[in-house]
Amino acid sequence: MTFPGLVLRNALRNKRRFTLTLSGVALSLFLLTVLRVVLRGLTDPATTDEAALRLVVRHKVSLANMLFAKYKFRVEKMPGVRYCSKMLWFGGIYQDEKNFFPQFACDADTVFKVLAEAKIDPQQLDRFVKERAACVVGIKTLNRFGWKIGDRITLMGAMWPCNLELTIRGIYSGTVDETNLFFHHEYFDELLGDKGFTGLLWVRAENAAVVPDLIERIDAAFANSDAETKTETEHSFQLGFVSMLGNLKRLIGRISFVIVFTLVLVTSGTMSMTIRERVREIAILKALGFGAWRIFCLILAESFGLAMIGGFAGCLGAWVLVHAVDIYKLSRGLFVNFEVTPRILAQSLLGAALLGIVSCLLPAYGNLKRSVVEGLRAPD
Amino acid sequence: MSIPFKYNWRNLRVRWRSTLATTLGIALVVAVFVMVMSLARGLKATYLSTGDPRNLLVLRKGAMAESSSQITLDDVRRTKFLDGIARNERAEPLAAAEIIVLITMDRTSGGKAHMQVRGISPMSWQLRPGIKIVQGRMFQPGRRECVVSRNVARRFENCRYGQRFRSGKGNWEVVGIFDAQRTAYDSEIWVDADEAREAFNRSFYGSIVCRPVDELAAAALIRRIENDKQMQLRALTETEYFRQQTRTAAPIQVFGACLAAIMSIGAAFSAMNTMYAAVGSRAREIGTLRVLGFRPRSVYVAFLLESLVVAAMGGVLGCVLALPLHGVATGTFNWTTFAEVGFECRITAGLLLGGMLFALIMGALGGILPARLAARKPVLEALRAT
């Protein structure tokens, strides 16, 4: 019998135990992988080359304080600014509070120049720009509610005392977040009686080199005014937002640690159970002249193989979950960026490998220490 | 039915290594479950303990939170003097116009958070008698002074007694610390309402808190405000408003439940493994028990009990492991108010009981099949086993 054959026979000797342990390992690695995917989706907003050129200008006090709309005219004339659009979080309710998705009032003529990676049909864009009560919807939200071009939708204002009656004139896709709805800022102003404010300014810089300087110049321009600004890159703006959610990294990190610890404990317990039943056999192998190293390899291979198969199964499970289930719909629009990246896969498999090695160390050590005679005498 | 308790107990001790591994496994699962749920409990308890059932809160129609509500000065004046609102000894109506401003602050533990600054009127204190200044003094309007809750002082930069922080048109000095007794107000900074409106450029107020003379008057006021087409306001009891905020805890609860469910299946597998091994290596003992007159049913119960005992030990250990989290202050983001809400993790007797129940379910799942195997073993075959 070959060495791998012996390992396989040993592993499958108790099929029930093998299956149970394997399922346990697979389940835990599935959970670990999904936790990492969730963490990444929540705390690591994806960034693109285009996004690196975008800046967000908000009120210095907080996001919930409004900027003067007239700031736009000063910002768009600054050297280094290519396009600029006003943005205002509408936070309206579509039919039911559960149907959450982001809605923004914006400058129709520039918003898709700032959001340059968005793909939108030029004719649709043209119609959107020309019609005051028109809107453009991200493909994900469109599909979620089964809307189509030409549909009329009503958004009830939860934050603002007005309701929007919008007609869908365009669909965009190709961005990291394909869930937003954009409508005319003028329409909002009209409903509210032109109060002359907006939420923030969304700026696209000429090139990456001017960005640091531009940030300083914008903030300097409005220093000591009634509404001082805070300008940051889109990415750091998103990170700031994420940090408001609380320390998710620490929470999920700790839970993952507990899972790994439990897993090592339980797997190592199973391995020692397996080996304890084989004390006599191992003593015979020793008597036949197998070195301690060979016997250790035998145990290691079994444990390692078990952990790796479990690891692969767990990762596959996570992958299937992410691809087969519409997490966006399921989480009611909360998780947009949900993906099993190669990095996460590698981390999980590395974890499985370490698990395989660590959990056989203690049981193997105890066994190798035992003398041949002692082993042969051991009761079953 | 007689059950060989002593035999089971001794077995657990003899096979202490696998018993320990299973116990610890179950303990950790229970600990994670109790800990995550204590977050949800604490958050809910904070909102449920906030608000006075006698108080009414008036908001703009359609606004889901105080922070997104706006009420004009005219409407404030009209609402304050409506019939049915109680008056104090100086015949002033017990009504306070307030405004919430959200500001960005740095947490001492790193990261940023949106904080609620509540601009209050003098009557606000009378409407919330539970809130007391415990250090320093009340702010004086117009001097850029504020009072903060004890929780805020601890958890945010530059918010300790005597410190200053910049926001809006002000360099605010913390002149007092208040204790809101673990209510949602414990996540707030309080300043004068008119000063807040001036410093943060608000032409309007956010909400009105008032005290109707009695329940009948309250119901009448709610109707009166609801039906006033000119004002576009709505009123609800303060407790109802804060009860609605408890849904902030829903995502944590879902997360905790999913996590616990998946982990518990893994732990049940491990328990099953241990029990199968126990049954497998004790075939001869099972045979002996049967010869001694124990019925298959007794053997079944004995092994199931063994599994349950292991699980119960794990459950107790898990609860003990989770206990230190009780009372730990933390915070999360409330999407409706768009601000941070601080709360303390709460581990209640009910939650511990839930954890124990959870452990016992894992034990039962792990023990039923092996116990059945043990009970069905033919006596002769079992006796012959090596």
Closest Cα in chain A to B386? A380
- Does the predicted TM-score (pTM) go above 0.80? yes
Predicted pLDDT at B227: 92
User: Which is more confident, B174 or A14?
Assistant: B174
pLDDT in tens, chain A (380 residues): 688 888 888 888 888 889 999 999 999 999 999 988 888 877 777 677 778 899 999 999 888 889 999 999 999 999 999 999 999 999 899 998 888 899 999 999 999 999 998 999 999 999 999 999 999 999 989 998 999 999 999 999 888 888 999 999 999 998 888 889 999 999 999 998 888 899 999 999 999 899 999 999 999 999 988 889 999 998 888 888 778 877 777 888 888 888 888 888 888 888 888 887 788 888 888 888 888 888 888 889 999 999 999 999 999 999 998 887 776 666 665 666 678 888 999 999 999 999 999 988 888 887 777 778 887 877 65
**A28 touches B at CB < 8 Å:** yes
User: By the 8 A CB rule, do A71 and A57 touch?
Assistant: yes
- Contact assignment for A245 to B167 by CB distance below 8 Å: no
Q: What is the 3-state secondary structure (H, E, C) of chain B?
A: CCCCHHHHHHHHHHCHHHHHHHHHHHHHHHHHHHHHHHHHHHHHHHHHCCCCCCCEEEEECCCCCHHHCCECHHHHHHHHCCCCECECCCCCECEEEEEEEEEEEEECCCCEEEEEEEEECCHHHHHCCCCEEEEECCCCCCCCEEEEEHHHHHHECCCCCCCEEEECCEEEEEEEEEECCCCHHHHEEEEEHHHHHHHCCCCCECEEEECECCHHHHHHHHHHHHHCCCCCEEEEEHHHHHHHHHHHHHHHHHHHHHHHHHHHHHHHHHHHHHHHHHHHHCHHHHHHHHHCCCCHHHHHHHHHHHHHHHHHHHHHHHHHHHHHHCCCEEEEEECCCCEEEEEECCCCHHHHHHHHHHHHHHHHHHHHHHHHHHHHCCHHHHHHCC
What does the pLDDT look like over B270-292, one tens digit per residue?
A: 889 888 888 888 888 888 888 88
- Contact assignment for A159 to B340 by CB distance below 8 Å: no
User: By the 8 A CB rule, do B26 and B273 touch?
Assistant: no
Facing A262 at nearest CB: one of B28, B103, B339? B28
Closest Cα in chain A to B321? A258
Predicted pLDDT at B348: 93
Other beta carbons within 10 angstroms of residue B88's beta carbon come to: 11
Facing B277 at nearest CB: one of A161, A226, A273? A273
Q: What is the 3-state secondary structure (H, E, C) of chain A?
A: CCHHHHHHHHHHCCHHHHHHHHHHHHHHHHHHHHHHHHHHHHHCCCCCCCHHHEEEEEECCCCCCCEECCHHHHHHCCCCEEEEEEEEECCEECCCCCCCCCEEEECCCCHHHHCCCCEECHHHHHHHHHCCCEEEEEHHHHHHHCCCCCCEEEEEECCCCCEEEEEEEEEEECCCCCCCEEEEHHHHHHHHCCCCEECEEEEEECCHHHHHHHHHHHHHHCCCCCCCEEEEEHHHHHHHHHHHCCCHHHHHHHHHHHHHHHHHHHHHHHHHHHHHCCHHHHHHHHHCCCCHHHHHHHHHHHHHHHHHHHHHHHHHHHHHHHHHCCHHHHCCCCCCCCCCCHHHHHHHHHHHHHHHHHHHHHHHHHHHHCCHHHHHHCCC
Residue B384: pLDDT above 90?
Answer: no
User: By the 8 A CB rule, do B233 and B221 touch?
Assistant: no
For the complex shown, is ipTM > 0.90? Answer: no
Closest Cα in chain B to A229? B168
Chain B partners of A22 at a C-beta cutoff of 8 Å? none
Q: Which residue from A49, A16, A379, A82 is spatially nearest to A234, judged by alpha carbons?
A: A49
Facing A24 at nearest CB: one of B24, B232, B266? B266
What are the tokens at A154? 């009503």
Closest Cα in chain B to A246? B332
**Which residue(s) pair with B101 in the sheet?**
B117
Give how far B154 is from chain A: nearest CA, Å.
Answer: 16
**A265 touches B at CB < 8 Å:** yes
- Cα A71 from chain centroid? 34
Strand B188-192, strand B112-120: pairing: parallel
User: By the 8 A CB rule, do A12 and A258 touch?
Assistant: no
**A20 touches B at CB < 8 Å:** yes
Residue type (1 letter), A63:
L
Chain A partners of B104 at a C-beta cutoff of 8 Å? 61-63, 240
User: By the 8 A CB rule, do B107 and B155 touch?
Assistant: yes
CA angle B334, B336, B341 (to 5 degrees): 25
Give how far A246 is from chain B: nearest CA, Å.
Answer: 5
Give how far A211 is from chain B: nearest CA, Å.
Answer: 23
What are the tokens at B328? 């730990």
What does the pLDDT look like over B308-345, one tens digit per residue?
A: 999 999 999 999 999 999 988 888 888 888 888 989 99
Chain A partners of B36 at a C-beta cutoff of 8 Å? 255
Q: Judged by CB atoms within 8 Å, which residues 301-360 of A form the interface with B?
A: 334
